[in-house]
């Protein structure tokens, strides 16, 4: 199982435990499909368990969960994290690492030094 499929399996398992009638039963096929969808949402993987709880507490009365519902829940949790100084600092650290990695890939950082755009 890929990392995203494993994450999705955990999301589906937790959701099925909290609101069994609203989440699809965990299966390898569901985990793969959900993992593909969740991988498109730009949030740290640590957000997902909290997002499941958030959805169960705030949206579960509206019907069965969809990947879009989990995306909205994850973004709500991320917004909450932005208000917490410790978590916001960690999010900024991760963003900086991603920026540096992107810049390395496109050649803006060479031999550990940032090059100016010409």
Does the pLDDT value for residue 68 go beyond 80? Answer: yes
pLDDT for res 4: 93
Query: pLDDT value at position 99?
Result: 80
β partners of residue 114? 109
pLDDT reported for residue 93: 86
Residue 27 has pLDDT above 90, yes or no: yes
Q: How confident is the model at residue 65 (pLDDT cuts 50, 70, 90)?
A: very high
The pLDDT tens digits of the residues spanning 31-63 come to: 999 999 999 999 998 999 999 999 999 998 888
């Amino acid at each position: 199982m890929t990392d995203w499929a494993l994450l999705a399996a955990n999301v589906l398992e937790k959701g099925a435990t909290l609101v069994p009638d609203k989440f699809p039963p965990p299966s390898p096929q569901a985990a793969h499909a959900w993992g593909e969808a969740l991988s498109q949402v730009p949030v740290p993987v640590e957000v997902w368990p909290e997002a499941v709880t958030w959805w169960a507490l705030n949206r579960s009365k509206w019907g069965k969960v969809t990947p879009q519902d989990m995306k909205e829940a994850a973004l709500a949790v991320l917004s909450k994290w932005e208000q917490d100084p410790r978590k916001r600092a960690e999010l900024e650290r991760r963003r900086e690492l991603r920026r540096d990695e992107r810049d390395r890939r496109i050649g803006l950082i060479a031999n550990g030094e940032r090059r100016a755009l010409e």
